[in-house]
Amino acid sequence: MIVDLPSTTTSKITKRIVKMREQGGVVTLGRVLTLVVITQNGQEEAAIAAANLASREHPCRIIVLAAGSAGEPTRLDGEIRVGGDAGASEVIVLRGYGELAAESESVVSALLLPDAPIVAWWPNEAPDSVSTSPVGRIAHRRITDSAGQADPRAALEHIGATYAAGDTDLAWTRLTNWRIQLAAVLDQLDTAGPITGLQVEGASDSPSTLLLASWLHRALGAPITVTEDPRGTGIRRVVLEREGGNVELYRPGTIEAVLTQPGQPVQQISLPRRTLQDCLAEELRRLDPDEVFGEVITEGMRKLLAEEKVITA
């Protein structure tokens, strides 16, 4: 069910939610957090769809700030989605115009669940510093997505320069399965000789490629080469160079990868690209700062960009 509330206020929206709860049994019991999505009018549906699917694992109230035109007269249009239109959550869409087009803590504060953690997510453009933005200041976790920026590499550098505990980026979350596979390989190589070099290959528009290279370079300290593939291909290959033979994890497509190790049979590994809802659901599982991401985005990225050798394919 979708209820439209044109030219409204947050007080009227709250009263309408209470009335719907009394009449139809819409409740907030079991909601574990409030997810605030900050985007632009016309770009909100993909984010709402992903949040709805993620909310089946993490029941929450979803508040969407979809900024309209700042040149129009000031008004707030509201929309409440419950039931089948809201997954396992209730979705409140706020479209602000004029003075209300800018991100505002006061617009969302009356709609937050009491005593529940707040997660802020910018699926598209993010402010200069998410931790000091109006909504970012009250959020326990702040999620951005550098993959959606015009210059993903510059976006990562900016995140590193403005990083605060609680910040994260979905380009890092997309790496989870790659890091799990590589960590398992590295555990087996502990007594098999040192790693003398690293190679990471991925698309030129993939910030995950740079984050993976930063993670490996910081953890292993070996010289690294980053090879840029055509845009849209994602991460393709990681090579761990050793005197006894190289270890290679290669994903030629988007689903399966091939692991090659000296003295062992070639292994086929399921390594599909992760969906937006999978990444968002993973981020909602933890509300504490991701210390590894913090170290990689600051120290690791700075070291990589100073020392890396980049080859354009």
What is the per-residue pLDDT across 137-165, written as a single tens digit (0 to 9) for each? Answer: 999 999 999 998 888 889 999 999 999 99
Structure confidence at residue 128 (pLDDT):
93
Compute the distance between CA of residue 109 and CA of residue 105 in angstroms, rounded to an integer.
Answer: 6
Whether 59 and 82 have beta carbons less than 8 Å apart is answered as: no
How many other CB atoms are there within 10 angstroms of residue 18's CB atom? Answer: 11
Share of the chain above pLDDT 90, in %: 69
- Residue 94 within a domain: yes
- Residue 155 within a domain: no
Mean pLDDT of the chain: 90
Compute the distance between CA of residue 201 and CA of residue 259 in angstroms, rounded to an integer.
Answer: 15
One-character DSSP codes across 168-190: EEHHHHTTHHHHHHHHHHHHHTT
Question: CA dihedral in degrees (298, 303, 306, 309; nearest 10)?
Answer: -120
Inform me whether the pLDDT recorded for 25 exceeds 60.
Answer: no
| Residue where a domain terminates, one of 124, 144, 164 | 144
**Residue 42 shares a structural domain with residue 131:** yes
| pTM of the predicted protein model | 0.91
Inform me whether the pLDDT recorded for 23 exceeds 80.
Answer: no
Q: Domain span at residue 306? A: 176-312
**Strand order, beta sheet including 256-260:** 267-270, 256-260, 247-250, 235-242, 195-203, 224-229, 309-312
- Residue 48 within a domain: yes
- Residue 212 within a domain: yes
**Residue 140 shares a structural domain with residue 23:** yes
**Residue 274 shares a structural domain with residue 180:** yes
**Residue 140 shares a structural domain with residue 188:** no
- Residue 163 within a domain: no
pLDDT, tens digit, 9 for 90 and up, residues 33-82: 999 999 999 999 999 999 999 988 888 999 999 999 999 999 999 999 98
Inform me whether the pLDDT recorded for 307 exceeds 80.
Answer: no
**Residue 74 shares a structural domain with residue 16:** yes
Inform me whether the pLDDT recorded for 224 exceeds 60.
Answer: yes
Strands (E), the chain: 2-5, 33-40, 60-67, 75-81, 90-97, 118-121, 141-144, 167-169, 195-203, 224-229, 235-242, 247-250, 256-260, 267-270, 309-312
**Residue 136 shares a structural domain with residue 181:** no
Mean pLDDT of the 264-283 span: 94
Structure confidence at residue 306 (pLDDT):
82
Q: How confident is the model at residue 231 (pLDDT cuts 50, 70, 90)?
A: confident
| Residue where a domain terminates, one of 90, 125, 144 | 144
Nearest Cα to 92, choosing from 188, 4, 164, 178? 4
The label of the residue with tokens 């000031």 reads 74
**Residue 195 shares a structural domain with residue 237:** yes
Looking only at the bridges linking them, the beta strands covering 118-121 and 33-40 are parallel
Inform me whether the pLDDT recorded for 112 exceeds 60.
Answer: yes
- Residue 159 within a domain: no
One-character DSSP codes across 43-77: SHHHHHHHHHHHHTTS-EEEEEEEE--TTSPPEEE
Structure confidence at residue 83 (pLDDT):
76
Inform me whether the pLDDT recorded for 261 exceeds 60.
Answer: yes
How many other CB atoms are there within 10 angstroms of residue 9's CB atom? Answer: 14
**Residue 53 shares a structural domain with residue 185:** no
**Residue 97 shares a structural domain with residue 217:** no
- Residue 158 within a domain: no
Total domains in the chain come to: 2
- Residue 164 within a domain: no
**Residue 182 shares a structural domain with residue 291:** yes
Structure confidence at residue 2 (pLDDT):
87
CA angle 169, 174, 175 (to 5 degrees): 105
Whether 243 and 209 have beta carbons less than 8 Å apart is answered as: no
Inform me whether the pLDDT recorded for 91 exceeds 80.
Answer: yes
**Residue 25 shares a structural domain with residue 137:** yes
Inform me whether the pLDDT recorded for 266 exceeds 90.
Answer: yes
Share of the chain above pLDDT 70, in %: 93
